[in-house]
Structure 1
Amino acid sequence: MKAAFESYVQDETLILKIKGDLIGDESGPQLVGIVSDGLQEGIKKCIVDLSQVRYISSSGIGVLITILTKMRNADGEVYLTSPSEHVKKLLIITKLNNIFTVFDTLEDALNQSR
């Protein structure tokens, strides 16, 4: 199942809700484009909701790192929320849990980013 996503802005924070498999197909450049647009509008925080992501490939990890790099280069930050057990293990194996701030829920991330 390819990734589908929705994006919206809440409390000056860009929220990306991803569903399905994040494998860096055409959804990757689209997600990066949304983040670039957000930065141009002055948004400095991005929350990526992983609650409905079943699988992330190496290309999908690349998409997350690209988003993080773009935000940090603009003095912004990216938070990941609600990863499944499988995705949590992947973040630990790849040591991305040391690079990204990961929250259990979207609400926790929104409260932190205020």
Structure 2
Amino acid sequence: MTRIRRRFSSLVGSFCTVCGQVHAMPKKLKLRDPDHNPCLTESDASMRCLESNGFQQNFCQSHFIRYRNCRKFWHDVMVQRRMEGTTPDMPTAGERAGILHSYTDMPY
């Protein structure tokens, strides 16, 4: 029984817009999906910086700060949407582009 649980523990539900059902999606794919991860570009920039600087973190502090601010900003948006009862909690990539466009300069 635990073997089966471990095998499927990396699967999470993902809503299918085509058929309207929830399908299993591996966590690794979910983290790389722009609809689920609003800070994908900041995360990739941090990793590229680390790789190009021999994984010395002191050279990449500006990338880390930008990623942290991005996560905080979208977390606050998600909390606000939950309080308002808006679903899904995290806006899709298209909605996020509209939210960012409404700001005069980048919020993070």
Shorter-chain TM-score: which interval? under 0.3
Q: Please identify which structure carries the higher strand content.
A: 1
Q: Please identify which structure carries the higher helix content.
A: 2
Q: TM-score, normalised by structure 1?
A: 0.24
Q: TM-score, normalised by structure 2?
A: 0.25
Which one scores higher on RCO, CA 8 angstroms, separation ≥ 6? 1
Higher radius of gyration, 1 or 2: 2
